[in-house]
Every structure is written in structure tokens, then in C-alpha cells.
A and B are shown apart, each in its own frame.
Chain A
């Protein structure tokens, strides 16, 4: 059996953890957690190269948070949702701002990343309420 291993291809994953084509605020949350981890590692490091890398990855992942939030905002949520949850537009606006240049993209403060995560959590709660109602 082990001999066959040399000839049979083993599957190796290069997947995102989420199934494609499915809406889930977890996607924004994972990237926001990555942003928070980058900030923590940036603050804990004395290595200039590592810090540079942490900053560039943090900016990249902050953009991805925005992207995933925008997908939810513009593609998933429909007019009836915005009627039922009138705070949704403001929530998305605040959340995407928290991932932007005025938020985690520009800041190295862990508290900003926590605010972003809390905002995504609020959106997530509404998201799952709409799923349960559907």
C-alpha cells in the first residue's frame, strides 16, 4: 500500500476555508483576524524587515476585509433587509471605514482591529438572522 504512494497523487489543499460562491461574513472575519494578528506581530517585533512585511500584509488583508464586506453589502443584502434593519447601511459604512486608511489599513493599534471585528460581528448577527428568516 505504501509502495503505491509513490505513484498515486496525494491531494494537497490550496483552498480557502470557505466554499466558493457562498455568502458568509466569516470570510471578512478571517481576514480581519489576520489583520489583528499582523498588528500584534508588528508591535512585538524589532526586526525592520519583518515589520515591513507585517505592514504590507496587514494592508493587503485590510483591503480584503473591505472587499468581502462590499460583496455582502451589495450582493447578499436586498432592499427588504435594509428596510428591516435600517442600521445596516451605517454599519457597513463604519465597518469598511474601519478597514480603510482611517482604520486598520493605516493604524497599528490593536484596538482598531478589535473595533473592526466587533463591527463585523454586528453585521454577522444580522446576516444569520436574515438566513434564519429566509
Chain B
């Protein structure tokens, strides 16, 4: 846990690979995403976050700022874990902003069906 908490890439731009279905239909299992480590967090954007508890790095959507940090949600209500279960994610644990999908189907990462 402590080693992954110290995770900090050298270059600000990197790629991540998505595992699981909690962000469908926006992101699918196996999608490669270009991300900006340390990019500015904004409501509505997809981000790489560290969820509270002993959970792996996750990809979630930032919904709004909460006194405890960022409230994150999954796009697919049938799968996964989000702030309604684990609470807000501290600002320091919002690690990267998703920029766009590299592969397959390169392009912009769109907004969810149930947008506000």
C-alpha cells in the first residue's frame, strides 16, 4: 500500500489500461487511455483516483467537490464501487485526468448517459 501511495510517474503524460466494467459505456475493459498526471481536476471529467480503503488505482468520474475532497461516481450503476459507498476521495488522491482514448476506437471520452 505505502509503495503504491508514493506512485508518481516522471513524465506528466502517460497511458493507463482500464480493467472492469464500472465505467461502461464510457470506458470498456481493455481501453487504453492517455492521462495527464497531476492535471487540474474539474467536475464532470474522468480521473484516475485512489479510492479510500485498500483498493487499487481506479478510474471514476468526478461529480462535484465535497468538504472531504472529490465525490466520484461510476458511469455503470450495475457494477463497481463509488463515493456513495466509500465517501469522497481526498484531493491528493485524485492523481490524473483522462485526456482521450488511444486504443481501440481513438477519440474523446464523452459524458455519461445520466449527466446532471
Cβ of A37 and Cβ of B77 under 8 Å apart?
no
User: Which of A8, A53, A64 makes the CB contact (< 8 A) with B77?
Assistant: A64
Measured between alpha carbons, how far is A7 from B63 in the docked complex, in Å? 29
Cβ of B32 and Cβ of A13 under 8 Å apart?
no
Which of chain B's residues has its CB closest to A58's CB? B84
- A6 close to chain B: CB less than 8 A: yes
Smallest CB separation, B26 vs chain A (Å): 10
Residues in chain B near residue A6, CB distance under 8 A:
9-11, 13-14
Interface residues on B, range: 35 or more
Residues in chain B near residue A122, CB distance under 8 A:
none
**How many residues of chain A get a CB closer than 8 Å to chain B's CBs?**
26
Chain B interface helix/strand/loop/mixed: loop
- A30 close to chain B: CB less than 8 A: yes
Residues in chain A near residue B22, CB distance under 8 A:
14-16
Smallest CB separation, B76 vs chain A (Å): 8
Measured between alpha carbons, how far is A13 from B81 in the docked complex, in Å? 10
Smallest CB separation, B33 vs chain A (Å): 8
Measured between alpha carbons, how far is A5 from B13 in the docked complex, in Å? 9
Tell me the B residues contacting A by CB distance below 8 Å: 7-11, 13-24, 27, 29, 32-33, 48, 55-60, 63, 74, 77-81, 84-85, 116
Tell me the A residues contacting B by CB distance below 8 Å: 2-3, 5-17, 30, 33-34, 37-38, 53, 57, 60-61, 64, 67
